[in-house]
A and B are shown apart, each in its own frame.
Chain A
Amino acid sequence: MDRALKKKISHALEFAGFTLPAVCMIFLFVGIPFIMCIYYSFRKWNGIQKGSTFIGLQNYIRAFTNDTTFGNSISYTLIYAVLVVILINVLAILFSVLLEQSKIHGKGFFRAAFYIPNIISLIIIGFIWKFIYSRAFDSLHAATGANVFAWSWLGDPKLAVISTVLVTVWQALGFYMLIYIAGLQSVPDDLLEAATIDGAGKLRQFFSITLPMIMPSVTVCTFYSIANSLKMFEMIFSLTGGGPGSATTSVALDIYNTAFNSNQYGYGSSKSVILFAMVAIITVIQVTISKGKEQEA
């Protein structure tokens, strides 16, 4: 009895010794701040003074009824996310299939080359594209006379939204291609050969065999692309600064501005909680839907 107890205690100590360091760090730098954020979302707090006062749901009511910038940032973020998720996944699947199911040389080279933009920090990406959209497009317009290059890609509110989408797709395409290529490598060749012998065209092969087989990759890629686009901050911070006006202000950028530029920490906290809820709800829905699709397939 005594021995069993001793053994139990030593096992518990061992377990704690291995897991506690990580648990503490996660709790300290994610858990506590997250709980505090929920707490402060019900309070008025300017971040400078020590005290804060309880104001109930006022922050949330204000966010949803009396803050056009925040409203705009939600609709911008959703439009941006939808466009990015669709474009990125369609293009990544297209290029991965082209690359993987053809018999060309230098596949590794292409994979690595497409991945290059992904290793550049988003802040730098923003600056590079600011240069491309302004200086390079001016020169291209002068050289080719094509009107596309004369458009105000960063100055027109609607076009600026598209610009941010294009930059994101450009930057992240290589990453998603990697995941799809890994998925494609698990599609057995003989299945495709059998289909060819049975007379199925390339397109038919893709929709009846390849696509159902890579559904797990689709789930992962939609998950990643949704989560990443809903919290986009840095690229927008350096490319457009949220402008023109607030046309490209994402929720994340609006939270930053609310808290650190206008010192409304309590109000910013409530927006943070809203952002979390948005991401949580959308990703849960997405994962449920695509897990269902995977089982069907």
Chain B
Amino acid sequence: MKKQKFGSTIVFIILILFLICYLSPLILVIFGSFKSYSEIMTNVLSIPQKLTFGNFSTVFSSMNYPKSFLNTLIVTVIGVTGIVILGSLAGYKLSRVKTKYSYLIFLFCIMPMIIPFQSFMITLVKVSKQLGLIGNLYGLGIIYWGLGAPLSIFLYHGFVKSIPHELEECAMLDGCSPLRLFVSIIFPMLKPVTASVIVINAMWIWNDFLLPLLIIGSSGDNNTLQLAAYGFMGQYKMEWQNIMAGAILIIIPALVIYMIFQKNIVKGMVTGAVKG
């Protein structure tokens, strides 16, 4: 027993040491964000001499943070809401109806999961242009519906299998309409998957760069946070103290989403992953 305790203390120490090394780049980012230009150029590794928020305010205004934040929020909310609605409706029905056609449609729906985004992005831009979605935040959010639906259909489809039929049959006998049945009985039962679908897609859309770059481009007013980050990081080039402060401003919202939904992220990723 004693030996075992000793062993686990060693493992604990190894893991802690490794974790410190592992997260040290991020610690340097935090240090760097408080330093002045001359300080960061002379000493990267030390703790900042004093706590100044100058870099943050420089970056805050130069990347038009509130506006970019709001834009990203709009896109994420539109995207995630659509993905949840489309995914739950289709995933539920495709799982319940067990015909050949239903299965074929299910296959069609999840097929995009193995098509890399880069292998249809060129023509996606052309399609979006024709639909008038270029440079449009709402358009960007809607495009995410098509890109995000496959994974969420897959997750809902798997979960619905584990829900018993009886409840639906009773409701049907009572004369409940299919949509009403879905909204008031089925959807609430899908809550665990919905939470996972929300967090997976919110993190993805919030952090996505390539699609916004293609759809919004560098039209200043509609910048998302990631686009703004790329813009000002190019503009400041070697002024690392500003870049680090910007990085932190962009990481914080994602960190908050992660902290709130932490439990679901684990569950969702894992069930989704292991069932696949």
Interface residues, chain A, with chain B CB atoms under 8 Å away: 14-15, 17-19, 21-23, 25-34, 36-37, 40, 47, 95, 98-99, 102-105, 110-117, 119-124, 127-129, 131-132, 135-136, 138-140, 143, 170, 173, 175, 178-179, 182-183, 216-217, 220-221, 223-224, 227, 230-231, 233-234, 237-238, 251-252, 255-256, 259-260, 265, 268-269, 272-273, 275-276, 279-280, 283
- Does B176 sit within 8 A of A, measured CB to CB? no
**Assembly CA distance A143 to B11 (angstroms):** 29
- B182 to chain A: closest residue by CB: A18
Residues of B within 8 A of A131 (CB): 28-29, 32, 240, 243-244
Contact present for A104 and B114 (CB under 8 Å): no
For B, the interface residue count at a CB cutoff of 8 angstroms equals 90
Mark B95-124 against chain A: 1 for CB-CB distance below 8 A, else 0: 001000010010011001011111111111
Distance of A224 Cα from B200 Cα, bound (Å): 15
Given that A15-B97, A29-B127 are known contacts, is A265 also in contact with B122, CB under 8 Å in the complex?
yes
Asked whether A23 lies within 8 Å of B43 as measured between CB atoms, the reply is: no
From A98, A115, A230, A272, residue with most partner B Cβ within 10 Å: A272
Name the residue of chain B whose CB is nearest to the CB of A280.
B114
Q: Is the interface of A mostly helix, strand, loop or mixed?
A: helix
Q: Contact: A259 with B274, CB < 8 Å? A: no
Q: In the complex, what's the smallest C-beta–C-beta distance from A116 to chain B, in angstroms?
A: 7
Cα A75 to Cα B97 in complex, Å, equals: 45
**In the bound complex, do residue B109 and residue A127 qualify as a contact, i.e. CB atoms below 8 Å apart?**
no
Please state if A99 and B15 are interface contacts (CB–CB under 8 Å): yes
Identify the B interface with A (CB < 8 A). Answer: 4-5, 7-9, 11-12, 14-15, 18-19, 22-23, 25-26, 28-29, 32, 40-41, 43-45, 82, 85-87, 89-90, 92-94, 97, 102, 105, 108-109, 112, 114-124, 126-127, 142-143, 145-147, 149-150, 153, 178-179, 182, 203, 206-210, 214, 226, 229-230, 233, 240, 243-244, 247, 250-251, 254-255, 257-258, 262, 266, 269-270, 273-274, 276
Assess A29 versus B116: contact at CB under 8 Å? Given A123-B209, A124-B247.
Answer: no
Whether the pair B273, A21 counts as a contact (CB closer than 8 A) is no
Task: Tell me whether B262 and A179 are in contact (CB under 8 A).
Answer: no
Contact between B274 and A269 (Cβ–Cβ < 8 Å)?
no
* Contacts A28-B127, A124-B251 given; does A230 touch B22 at CB 8 Å: no
Contact assessment for B146 and A178 in the assembled complex, using a CB-CB cutoff below 8 Å: no
- Given contacts A15-B97, A121-B250, A279-B116, 14 further A-B pairs with CB under 8 A are A18-B92, A26-B146, A29-B124, A30-B115, A47-B126, A112-B262, A113-B23, A120-B207, A124-B247, A124-B250, A136-B45, A255-B121, A273-B119, A283-B114
- Name the residue among B15, B112, B123, B146 with the largest chain A CB count within 10 angstroms: B123
CB atoms of B127 and A36 under 8 A apart? yes
